[in-house]
Amino acid sequence: MNKLIRFASGFGLILLTGCGNGNQAPAAASDTAAGSTGATLAVLPDTAAFHDTVDGQPTALYILKNKQGASAAVTNYGARLVSLLVPDKKGLLTDVVLGYDSVGKYVHQPDTYFGAIVGRYGNRIAKGHFMLDGKGYTLATNDGPNHLHGGKKGFDAVVWTGQQPNDHSVQLTYLSKDGEEGYPGTLQIRVTYTLTDSNALIISYDGTTDKPTVLNITNHSYFNLNGQGSGTINNHILQIYADRYTPVDSTLIPTGKIQPVGGTPLDFRQPVAIGARVNDTANAQIKYGRGYDHNFVLNPANGDRLAGGGRLVHAVTVQGDQSGIVLDVFTNQPGVQFYGGNFLKGSDPLKAAKRDDYRSAFCLETQHFPDSPNEPSFPSTELRPGQNYQSTTIYQFSAK
Ligand code: BGC
């Protein structure tokens, strides 16, 4: 409950900062970030490497700071979280998200979606097709036979308009035109990143449309709580507060069933090492996902009501085995995709001259269920004129 009270105050912060217009120059990046011991561990990228142009539009890097010395960097190219520096058990600041050190590298390595906001439909839509109000819509099939993360040029690959009202938050807005990537309706979307003084990163999304559409927007950060580029995540200890999940076929499209995790390698109801059962390919789900790449149905009772009116559930707790850094995820979304970095190849040059590697990071994509537009029994992802889309996820960090 203590935690929820702290989050409630953080949530109030984003409500207060949710207005204002116009672009504002981002705060200057500090060269280094030192923990309470004074040792320098992690460095924020050079903002100059993000002052660029993509599709004729200016890009930038926005720096968020809190009173604890934690910091984050966000670029308006794909509204991406580039860096997130939080203290480990010794107080040393550790960069816990994978990312690149220039806009150019993000443009040239689109497939990983590092730190990006993905949409209009994050995750998969079967065969790139759905019906809405009796009309069929055809989308790009950019993941085998299916549509993934909004298509060929999703929200991860466009330049958003950035505005920094203060040193601990940034707002990014994007106008997605009617018909863009095949989706109906002009969609106005806003994403706000806020770094609180209790070391929580709050990502809040809101949006409106002028025609009925579907929307499932999330953040695609890759976490390694021992520090980006520090090797396997298989010894991280993970707990997912989900009794059920949505099993998939061999192309990672849900079968439509919702099944218990009990007795399967997807049972994370008690804390367990990520790697303990990740190679259990006798299980068809592990085989299809090449490890973990599944949507968990969050237990609805595992939450509380917040002062801002939004109800967040406690979705996940995960701890880095070396750093002691603990990440608690809270969200108002019904599901979370746990993706264990099975497609990372060790070929991506990360910040600070590090490299990624196979299963060296995980994503916790808070979301609606994959392929919901084709599954009437799943919670609806439809957004209609006059409705306000609102989604909030809190990534709370601590260390022990
Ligand atoms: C998907 C993975 C995919 C990754 C990068 C995740 O959200 O579930 O299957 O490889 O994104 O595209």
Residues near 153 by beta carbon (within 8 Å), at least 6 away in sequence: 181
Using the mean position of ligand 1's atoms as its centre, give its distance from the Cα of residue 176 in Å: 22
pLDDT of residue 4: 37
Ligand 1: which atom is nearest the Cα of residue 148? 12
Using the mean position of ligand 1's atoms as its centre, give its distance from the Cα of residue 50 in Å: 25
Task: Give the residue, by CA position, lying nearest to ligand 1 atom 5.
Answer: 112
Q: How many Å apart are CA 387 and CA 208, to the nearest integer?
A: 6
Using the mean position of ligand 1's atoms as its centre, give its distance from the Cα of residue 191 in Å: 21
The answer to whether the CB of 343 is under 6 A from ligand 1 is: yes
Question: Is the previous residue joined to 120 through a cis bond, with omega within 30 degrees of 0?
Answer: yes
Using the mean position of ligand 1's atoms as its centre, give its distance from the Cα of residue 187 in Å: 24
Neighbours of 32 (CB within 10 A): 12
Task: Give the residue, by CA position, lying nearest to ligand 1 atom 6.
Answer: 339
Show which residues are catalytic.
Answer: 220, 365
pLDDT of residue 14: 31
Mutate to test the pocket of ligand 1, among 147, 363, 366 (most ligand atoms within 8 A of CB): 363
Ligand 1: which atom is nearest the Cα of residue 343? 10
Mutate to test the pocket of ligand 1, among 123, 343, 359, 366 (most ligand atoms within 8 A of CB): 343
Mutate to test the pocket of ligand 1, among 117, 156, 293 (most ligand atoms within 8 A of CB): 293
Query: φ and ψ at 287, to 5 degrees?
Result: -65, -50
Q: Which residue numbers in the chain have pLDDT < 70?
A: 1-41, 304-309
Using the mean position of ligand 1's atoms as its centre, give its distance from the Cα of residue 221 in Å: 11
pLDDT of residue 12: 33
Q: What helix, strand, coil percent values describe the chain, rounded to 5?
A: 15, 40, 50
Q: How far is CA 45 from CA 66, 116, 184, 230, in A?
A: 17, 16, 37, 18
pLDDT of residue 31: 30
pLDDT of residue 97: 98
E-assigned strand segments in 285-334? 293-297, 303-305, 311-319, 325-331
The answer to whether residues 183 and 122 touch, using CB atoms and an 8 Å cutoff, is no
Q: What's this model's pTM, rounded to 2 decimal places?
A: 0.90
Structure tokens at 355: 């490299």
pLDDT of residue 303: 73
Residues near 144 by beta carbon (within 8 Å), at least 6 away in sequence: 251
In 3D, which of 46, 90, 93, 98 has the Cα closest to residue 66?
93
Task: Give the residue, by CA position, lying nearest to ligand 1 atom 9.
Answer: 293
Task: Give the residue, by CA position, lying nearest to ligand 1 atom 10.
Answer: 343
Q: What count of Cα atoms within 13 Å lies in the side-chain half-sphere of residue 136? A: 4
The answer to whether the CB of 339 is under 6 A from ligand 1 is: yes
The answer to whether the CB of 113 is under 6 A from ligand 1 is: yes
Ligand 1: which atom is nearest the Cα of residue 112? 5
Task: Give 138-191 as a DSSP string.
Answer: E----BTTBEETTSTT-GGGSBPEEEEEETTEEEEEEEEPTTGGG--S-EEEEE
The answer to whether the CB of 143 is under 6 A from ligand 1 is: no
In 3D, which of 348, 258, 325 has the Cα closest to residue 294?
258
